[in-house]
Amino acid sequence: MKKLMILCLAVLTAGLSAQNVKLIAPQTSGGATLREALTKRCTNRNYTGKELSAQQLSDLFYSACGMNRKDAKKLTIPTARNAQDLVLYAATKQALYRYDAASHSLVFLKKGDFRQQFGMQKGMFAKAAVVLIYTSDLKKLNFGNSDAEKKVYAGVHAGFAMQNVGLYCAAEGLGNVIIGSYDRKKTPELLGLTKGQPVLMVQLVGVLK
């Protein structure tokens, strides 16, 4: 009986991971002050491998590029001419997702644990709760003379999101590290990206040891 229950639970958990994840409402007040978060912000690389709580997952994506003014459809990050070109992906132990700010949900892409495949520092990637992959849909940047110029704007936008995440992690007592040494070949392949959607940077978020 006990074995049957464990089997049912495992099947149920596996099934749930192969679906879109509607994030719960983000916390929009309370917590550490901005000054405290600024003072604590730092890179950490030692994670336990534990997963984030539902609230932490919600607050993380809200911080990165969530919608903070629903009426105007605007985000927690500024983007030039409100281009909103940033496309954020997330790899967890369960699956690969794309974040959708309008519905505050993780859109399911692929089942499986792909975390280590994005990076070179494999041990660290395996222990991160979430691997965030920042990309840009360059066609939304309909200004600038060249792709090189567009990529500068795109990088600036991703930088805002990464700093928001870094400050959120500092305020919440979570660890994070920005990763420039991500796998240049596998990362776009795993996400099925075309030339018009370059990978800008990767960031790990983890529960600290």
Nearest to ligand FMN of 138, 177 (CB atom):
177
Is 147 in contact with 78 (CB distance < 8 Å)?
A: no
Q: Which two tokens stand for residue 126?
A: 């395996």
Smallest gap, in angstroms, from Cβ of residue 11 to ligand FMN? 37
Smallest gap, in angstroms, from Cβ of residue 180 to ligand FMN? 3
Q: From residue 43, how far is each of 175, 176, 178 by CA, in Å?
A: 7, 6, 8
CA dihedral 192, 146, 67, 28 (to 10 degrees): 110
Give me the 137-176 binding string for ligand FMN, x by CB under 6 A, dash otherwise.
----------------------------------------
Q: From residue 156, how far is each of 77, 98, 131, 150, 191 by CA, in Å?
A: 10, 20, 20, 10, 22
Beta strands in the chain (DSSP E): 21-22, 67-69, 74-75, 86-91, 95-100, 105-111, 130-136, 175-179, 199-206
| Near ligand FMN by CB under 6 A: residue from 174, 179, 191, 200 | 179
**184 in contact with ligand FMN (CB under 6 A):** no
Size of the residue set binding ligand FMN (CB under 6 A): 9
Give me the 43-72 binding string for ligand FMN, x by CB under 6 A, dash otherwise.
x-x---------------------------
Smallest gap, in angstroms, from Cβ of residue 172 to ligand FMN? 16
Smallest gap, in angstroms, from Cβ of residue 152 to ligand FMN? 14
Which positions lie near ligand FMN, rule CB under 6 A?
A: 42-43, 45, 121, 177-181
